[in-house]
Amino acid sequence: MATSQQIKTGYIDYVLTHDEKPKSVYSFVKKIKISKAEFYKFYGSFESIEKLIWAELTAEAIDTIQQQEVWAQYSSRDRMLSFFYSYMELLKGHRSFIVYSLKKHTDRFSTPEVLAGAKPIFENFATGLINEGLESGELADRKFFAKRYKDALWVQFAFLVNFWINDDSAEFERTDEAIEKGINVTFDLFQRSPIDNLVEYGRFLSRNVNFSDISSSKH
Amino acid sequence: MNEQNSIPVTKTERSAKFVKTGFQIGGNYIKHYSKKLFNPQLGRDELNEDNATDIYKSLSELKGSALKIAQMLSMDKNILPKSYIEKFTQSQYNAPPLSGPLIVRTFTRNFGKTPEAIYDKFNLVSSNAASIGQVHEAELNGQKLAVKIQYPGVGDSISSDLKLVKPFAFRLLGMSEKELNIYIKEVEERLLEETDYELEVRRSIEITEACKDLKNVVFPTYYPALSGKRIITMDWINGMHLKEFLQTNPSQELRNKIGQALWDFYNFQQHELRAVHADPHPGNFMITPDEKLGVIDFGCIKEMPDDFYVPFFSLISSDVIKDKKRTIEAFRKLEMIHQHDDEAQIEFYYQSYLEMIRLFAKPYTSKTFDFSQPEFFTQLYAYGEKIAKMPEFKQARGVKHFIYVNRTNFGLYTILQELKAVVKTDTFNPHLT
């Protein structure tokens, strides 16, 4: 009896050997000596195998960092940094497959289809962090915008994975720098900043101007 | 949040930083000359101060190798005017730290374990910054440890940083790119060595072992098993930095003791080991509670080959200098006088370098030397200022080894001056045969 794991391993082995996905489910199941029914019991298509791999890696990274002792001491910013460092470490173990899986996706401006499974997991994780940050005051609660913070982090997710794929530095050190820098910048934007004060000042002025208009019209 | 939010990483961004500094310096000159229109008495000190501040700001934001270069420049007190130095020496103490998760990441990559799993205690907040890394306090089996962690990508960025620093160096030293290249290469080699923490641990152990019998000098124990490519674990040395130490108004006797320890440490290395801790900036030394000199950083070691050591120290500690012919011969070996120099040039450089060597060798000419006397340093500065203005010195002269040997010895002299120490200078003498 085939398991989900066997099919996954068989699939990864196939695409890495042939640098393309199997021509059909039929030829694939024949190759790994299972029945078509067994395949469809676990997966609807080859794409769903890839999606699942991404989703599992993402969940695994989150799980790993939450078990670290320092987790409790970390701020939201640190937690997000920690996620990306662990994630990249995990991806490293599957680099050939990851590169294969993403390089099919050439449109830089949309989210690759294979990440569709990882996205909700990451966003759920990010939303949790953001809410904690908003509560503790680490992040600024801005009308409308606070709800979009997680989107900004997803953009970083896609960017960093892509950066890592093209990183040829020793031990992917440049990716570490990209994480440190990118996540810090993103969280800086989430924090209370001069822009918030500027907006408030503008609001104050607009009220004040109205007031003086009214008072001058009385004369 | 006082952790640094971003480090300019890519070359374009780094260049942007330097370009900005360039503009600011230009601006400072304009400011200076427009003020001077109204106040002709205005000295260049304020201008130098402004420039130094801007360069320092830009360099400390860049961190890493650029900061190291700031430190190097600051050691060359004989070349830079005084106010540059004050600002540059700031870079020897503090630069802002990096995030906790990156530290954990560095550990898991080196050892497959988090710092908590390795040490009994580990403080994620760094206690201070080294120029290419930061230092954390830790504890294992009751021993307090200092754990040095290197920033990622430092090695990568060194070469590109140096390329960016070059135009600055030309302006500061007034040299051409071609001539400066052998020196820049020498600096690059040393800087790259500094990023090799495995090499640093090996050398630290070698040198501290060789120096263990020196009086009043202490070294931390290094732990190779807890060190790796990006991490060094060593004992924590308790004590004060030079500045703090001086603020406690130490007695002359104590100043001399520390000064002597420093002198012995350097001269033992130069003459017995022929390899010297070439980073004598105050941040690398501690004065321990039991009144000893603690030496904490062996990142930069300069080895002196015979073809440099012998001619150079024969000028300093023998009669060679009294004999013009032999002196010129030594200058030739050290490339201070070039093959195709004409008679007039030979005479000119002979006189100029003779003056330099005499100054440099002054502490060696008597059994004891009082570094507190200001005349010696006034002469040094005056000499530096004088040659900086001479067009003849706009071209590069002297073998590349001079960079680090000069930095080491002038650095040593400068610290001894700050200590106002009187030291016995004949404790370790050059071996010339």
B89: pLDDT strictly greater than 90: no
pLDDT for position B27: 47
**CB-based contact B220:B296 (threshold 8 Å):** yes
Listed range (A165-179, B57-71, B345-359) with the worst mean pLDDT? B57-71
Name beta bridge partners: B106: none
Contacts of B1 in chain A (CB under 8 A): 191
Comparing B383 with A120, the larger pLDDT belongs to: A120
ipTM above threshold 0.85? no
Nearest CA in chain A to B100: A78
pLDDT for position B66: 47
Which range scores top for mean pLDDT: A141-145, B255-259, B281-285?
A: B255-259
β-pairing verdict for B231-235 and B143-150: antiparallel
Contacts of A78 in chain B (CB under 8 A): 99-101
Q: How confident is the model at residue B369 (pLDDT cuts 50, 70, 90)?
A: very high
Q: How confident is the model at residue B109 (pLDDT cuts 50, 70, 90)?
A: confident
Q: Which of A180, A181, A184, A189 to mutate to test the interface with B (most CBs of B within 10 A)?
A: A180
Structure token pair of residue B46: 């304020």
Where exactly are the structural domains of chain A? 1-44, 45-201
pLDDT for position B177: 67
Length of chain B: 433
The pLDDT > 90 percentage for chain B reads 35
Comparing B115 with B57, the larger pLDDT belongs to: B115
Give Cα A66 to chain centroid, integer Å: 16
Classify A45-201 by CATH class. mainly alpha
Closest among B214, B183, B209 to B404, alpha carbons compared: B183
Binary contact (A176, B104; C-beta < 8 A): no
pLDDT for position B2: 40
Comparing B343 with B181, the larger pLDDT belongs to: B343
Side chain identity, residue B242: L
**CB-based contact B304:B270 (threshold 8 Å):** yes
Contacts of B156 in chain A (CB under 8 A): 169-170, 173-174
Q: Which of A138, A173, A175, A190 to mutate to test the interface with B (most CBs of B within 10 A)?
A: A173
Comparing B262 with B6, the larger pLDDT belongs to: B262
Beta-carbon contacts of residue B34 (< 8 Å; ≥ 6 apart):
none
Binary contact (A78, B101; C-beta < 8 A): yes
Positive or negative CA dihedral for A124, A129, A132, A133? negative
Listed range (B157-161, B180-184, B212-216, B292-296) with the worst mean pLDDT? B157-161
Closest residue to B156, CB basis, from A70, A85, A173: A173
The pLDDT > 70 percentage for chain B reads 69
B82: pLDDT strictly greater than 50: no
Q: How far apart are CA B215 and CA B393, in angstroms?
A: 41
Listed range (A139-143, B244-248, B420-424) with the worst mean pLDDT? A139-143
**CB-based contact A98:A197 (threshold 8 Å):** no
pLDDT for position B43: 53
Nearest CA in chain B to A92: B109
Closest residue to B101, CB basis, from A69, A81, A185: A81
Q: How confident is the model at residue B6 (pLDDT cuts 50, 70, 90)?
A: very low
Nearest CA in chain B to A83: B101
Contacts of B100 in chain A (CB under 8 A): 70, 73-74, 78, 81-82
Q: How confident is the model at residue B97 (pLDDT cuts 50, 70, 90)?
A: low
Q: Which of A70, A84, A91, A160 to mutate to test the interface with B (most CBs of B within 10 A)?
A: A70
Contacts of B102 in chain A (CB under 8 A): 81, 85, 176, 179-180
Q: Is B293 exposed, middle or buried (0-12, 13-18, 19+ CB in 10 A)?
A: buried
Length of chain A: 219
What is the CB neighbour count within 10 angstroms for residue A67?
Answer: 8
pLDDT for position B80: 43
Which range scores top for mean pLDDT: A65-69, B54-58, B429-433?
A: A65-69
Q: Quick one: which H or E segment has residue B150?
A: strand B143-150
Binary contact (B99, A77; C-beta < 8 A): yes
Name beta bridge partners: B275: B303
Listed range (B72-86, B119-133, B159-173) with the worst mean pLDDT? B72-86
pLDDT for position B7: 44
Contacts of A180 in chain B (CB under 8 A): 7, 98-99, 102, 152
β-pairing verdict for B121-122 and B128-130: unpaired
B237: pLDDT strictly greater than 90: yes
Q: How far apart are CA B207 and CA A60, in angstroms?
A: 46
Residue-wise burial string across A25-34, b where 16 or more C-beta atoms lie within 10 A, e elsewhere: eeebbeebeb
Token pair 């004999």 is found at B323
Binary contact (B104, A89; C-beta < 8 A): no
Side chain identity, residue A124: N
pLDDT for position B63: 42
B265: pLDDT strictly greater than 90: yes
pLDDT for position B414: 83
Side chain identity, residue B127: S
Q: Taking residues B195-199, report their average pLDDT.
A: 90
Weakly modelled stretches of chain A, pLDDT under 70: 1-2, 106-109, 210-219
Q: How confident is the model at residue B86 (pLDDT cuts 50, 70, 90)?
A: very low
Q: How far apart are CA B430 and CA B433, in angstroms?
A: 9
pLDDT for position B411: 79
pLDDT for position B325: 92
pTM for this entry: 0.72
CA angle B161, B162, B163 (to 5 degrees): 90
Q: How far apart are CA A124 and CA A55, in angstroms?
A: 12
Query: In whole numbers, what is the pLDDT of chain B averaged over residues?
Result: 77
pLDDT for position B268: 95
Can you give chain A as a three-state secondary structure string? CCCHHHHHHHHHHHHHHHCCCCCCHHHHHHHCCCCHHHHHHHCCCHHHHHHHHHHHHHHHHHHHHHHCHHHHHCCHHHHHHHHHHHHHHHHHCCHHHHHHHHHCCCCCCCCCHHHHCHHHHHHHHHHHHHHHHHHHCCCCCCCCHHHHHHHHHHHHHHHHHHHHHCCCCHHHHHHHHHHHHHHHHHHHHHCCCHHHHHHHHHHHHHHHHHHHHHHHHHC
Beta-carbon contacts of residue B150 (< 8 Å; ≥ 6 apart):
B106, B132, B133, B195, B197, B229, B230, B231
Cα distances (angstroms) measured from residue B120 to each of B107, B139, B145, B201: 15, 6, 11, 22
Comparing B248 with B45, the larger pLDDT belongs to: B248
pLDDT for position B283: 77
Chain A residues within 8 Å of chain B (Cβ atoms): 68-70, 73-74, 77-79, 81-82, 85-86, 89, 169-171, 173-174, 176-181, 184-185, 188, 191
Binary contact (A177, B7; C-beta < 8 A): yes
Q: How far apart are CA B34 and CA B206, in angstroms?
A: 57
Closest among B60, B129, B68 to B278, alpha carbons compared: B68
Contacts of B159 in chain A (CB under 8 A): none
**CB-based contact A21:A46 (threshold 8 Å):** yes
Cα distances (angstroms) measured from residue B376 to each of B387, B408, B419: 17, 17, 15
What is the CB neighbour count within 10 angstroms for residue A206?
Answer: 10
Q: Quick one: which H or E segment has residue B130?
A: strand B128-130
Side chain identity, residue B218: V
The pLDDT tens digits of the residues spanning B220-233 come to 999 999 999 889 99
Q: How confident is the model at residue B432 (pLDDT cuts 50, 70, 90)?
A: confident
Side-chain-facing half-sphere of B93: CA atoms under 13 Å: 11
Contacts of B98 in chain A (CB under 8 A): 180
Q: Taking residues B401-428, report their average pLDDT.
A: 87
The pLDDT tens digits of the residues spanning B155-177 come to 766 666 666 666 665 665 555 66
Comparing A139 with B28, the larger pLDDT belongs to: A139
Closest residue to B102, CB basis, from A74, A85, A169: A85
The H-assigned helical ranges of B144-176 are 154-173
Contacts of B228 in chain A (CB under 8 A): none
Q: Quick one: which H or E segment has residue B397?
A: none
Chain B residues within 8 Å of chain A (Cβ atoms): 1, 5-7, 9, 98-102, 104-105, 108-109, 114, 116, 124, 152-153, 156
Listed range (B10-14, B45-49, B362-366) with the worst mean pLDDT? B10-14
